């Protein structure tokens, strides 16, 4: 299965990359809407986060359009291409005249070393495994371990840059008020994901058996893994920005307790105000007059045909019980929520 995937991505890597760039954000937005229930609403993106996202998207497009040079992939050559055909193509791509190189190869030591290594099939397998830059930079590389050591910085650096970008989005002045909460929730996960990607990237290069197939070609690991890494790191950035933050159940209970506490405090203040009014004859008289006036107004409203019709249409009036349904529903909600939060001895909870 993995071999088929590597072969497929090696053949259609640019098409797959463009598909992810074009359709990936839309699919992620749909997934976000599906899992948003029970999560905190996502705050609007800040200008700095938008700048990071756009810059990363543009870099990803650039990396897919202009991938690193590869002798075989860039020119559509098979791994078993004869050296007589391969040699002038490499020289032309390097901008070196063929006859100039043949007459004085010592003037181009690295290019001569590259052509020497590509002169045998085993060297071409290592080229497909570690990429063009390693063959050009590492003149001292002799074994597979030497090339792995030379390739390690170029493999790890993109993941380190991604970790720095994620770290920057953990600052409040970059990503807004929810930056710290998002960082606490997702940054450790991203760290483990990046570590696993580094191990997978290096592990596939080290352990994959690169061999020529019947069609004369092989799995070109370096350009394929480059494409996969570019797309996956972009998706990591997008996922970190758009993933909803799960709502903490304890925080929701604390907010509800505060709301109920405010409601009981309001009720207490109302009771104290009524007691103060009752102790003052003038205030009591005014309060009674106001109460009677309100009762008369409510009686007129109950007997007014248009008002009764509107109240019945809204479900707020049933017989002589004015606003019974909303009042009963509110009472039941308060009682159930209070019993859920406050566990009284002997209440069966």
pLDDT band at residue 201 using 50, 70 and 90 as cut-offs = very high
The boundaries of the domain holding residue 307 are: 250-341
Is the confidence at residue 341, as pLDDT, over 80? no
- The answer to whether the Cα torsion of 162, 235, 51, 242 is positive or negative is negative
Shared-domain flag, residues 243 and 264? no
* Average of per-residue pLDDT across 181-202: 91
Shared-domain flag, residues 63 and 162? yes
Give pLDDT, residue 30.
64
Give pLDDT, residue 349.
45
- Going by the DSSP 8-state scheme, the letter that residue 246 receives in this structure is B
**Strand partners for 321:** 318
Are 46 and 102 within 8 A, CB to CB? no
**Cα dist. 316→321, 327, 332 in Å?**
9, 9, 17
How many helices and strands in the chain, by DSSP H and E? 16, 2
**346 within a domain of the structure (yes/no):** no
**29 within a domain of the structure (yes/no):** yes
- Going by the DSSP 8-state scheme, the letter that residue 138 receives in this structure is -
Q: What is the pLDDT of residues 94-150, one digit of tens each?
A: 888 877 877 787 788 888 888 888 988 999 999 999 999 888 888 888 888 899 999
**305 within a domain of the structure (yes/no):** yes
Shared-domain flag, residues 321 and 208? no
pLDDT band at residue 200 using 50, 70 and 90 as cut-offs = very high
Q: CB atoms < 10 A from the CB of 342, how many? A: 11
Shared-domain flag, residues 225 and 309? no
**10 within a domain of the structure (yes/no):** yes
Give the Cα separation of 190 and 237 in Å (integer): 9
Shared-domain flag, residues 277 and 172? no
Strand runs labelled E in 73-177 = none
DSSP reduced 3-state for 318? strand
Give the Cα separation of 93 and 109 in Å (integer): 16
Shared-domain flag, residues 236 and 264? no
Shared-domain flag, residues 277 and 195? no
Q: What is the pTM of this model?
A: 0.64
**100 within a domain of the structure (yes/no):** yes
Please give the backbone phi and psi of residue 207, each rounded to the nearest 5 degrees, phi first: -100, -15
Residue whose pair of structure tokens reads 């007691």 in the numeric block? 275
Strand runs labelled E in the chain = 317-318, 321-322
Q: Point out the domain boundary residue: 219, 247, 275.
A: 247
Q: Point out the domain boundary residue: 222, 247, 272.
A: 247
Query: What would the two tokens of residue 231 be?
Result: 């797309």
Is the confidence at residue 183, as pLDDT, over 60? yes
Give the Cα separation of 198 and 195 in Å (integer): 5
| Apex 321 CA angle, 320 and 324, nearest 5 | 160
Residue whose pair of structure tokens reads 């860039």 in the numeric block? 74
CB proximity list for 136: less than 8 A, separation 6 or greater: 110, 114
Shared-domain flag, residues 111 and 234? yes
**82 within a domain of the structure (yes/no):** yes
The more confident residue out of 288 and 68 is 68
Give pLDDT, residue 164.
93
Q: What is the pLDDT of residues 53-66, one digit of tens each?
A: 889 988 988 888 88
Shared-domain flag, residues 63 and 14? yes
Shared-domain flag, residues 258 and 242? no
Give me the number of domains the chain comprises: 2
Shared-domain flag, residues 291 and 223? no
**349 within a domain of the structure (yes/no):** no
Q: Point out the domain boundary residue: 247, 282, 310.
A: 247
Residue whose pair of structure tokens reads 């760290």 in the numeric block? 191
Shared-domain flag, residues 309 and 213? no
């Amino acid at each position: 299965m993995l071999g088929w995937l590597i072969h497929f991505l090696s053949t259609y890597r640019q098409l797959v990359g463009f598909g992810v760039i074009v359709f990936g954000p839309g699919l992620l937005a749909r997934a976000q809407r599906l899992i948003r229930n029970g999560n905190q609403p996502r705050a609007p993106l800040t200008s700095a986060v938008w700048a990071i996202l756009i810059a990363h998207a543009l870099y990803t497009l650039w990396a897919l359009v202009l991938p690193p040079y590869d002798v075989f992939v860039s020119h559509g050559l098979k791994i078993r291409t004869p050296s007589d055909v391969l040699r002038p193509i490499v020289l032309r791509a390097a901008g070196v005249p063929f006859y100039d190189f043949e007459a004085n190869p010592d003037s181009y030591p690295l290019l001569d070393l590259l052509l020497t290594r590509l002169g045998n099939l085993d060297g071409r397998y290592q080229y497909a495994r570690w990429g063009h830059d390693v063959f050009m930079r590492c003149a001292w590389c002799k074994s597979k371990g030497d090339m792995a050591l030379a390739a390690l910085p170029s493999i790890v650096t993109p993941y380190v840059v991604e970790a720095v970008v994620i770290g920057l989005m953990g600052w409040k002045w970059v990503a807004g008020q929810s930056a710290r909460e998002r960082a606490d929730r997702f940054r450790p996960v991203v760290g483990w994901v990046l570590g696993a990607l580094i191990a997978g990237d290096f592990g596939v290069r080290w352990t994959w058996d690169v061999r020529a197939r019947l069609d004369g070609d092989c799995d070109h690991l370096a350009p394929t893994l480059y494409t996969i890494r570019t797309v996956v790191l972009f998706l990591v950035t997008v996922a970190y920005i758009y993933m909803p933050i799960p709502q903490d159940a304890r925080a929701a209970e604390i907010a509800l307790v505060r709301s109920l506490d405010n409601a009981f405090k309001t009720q207490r203040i109302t009771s104290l105000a009524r007691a103060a009014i009752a102790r003052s004859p003038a205030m009591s008289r005014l309060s009674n007059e106001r109460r009677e006036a309100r009762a008369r107004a409510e009686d007129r409203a109950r007997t007014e045909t248009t008002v009764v019709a509107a109240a019945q249409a809204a479900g707020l009036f049933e017989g002589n019980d004015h606003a019974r349904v909303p009042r009963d529903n509110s009472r039941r909600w308060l009682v159930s929520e209070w019993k859920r939060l406050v566990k009284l001895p002997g209440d069966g909870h």
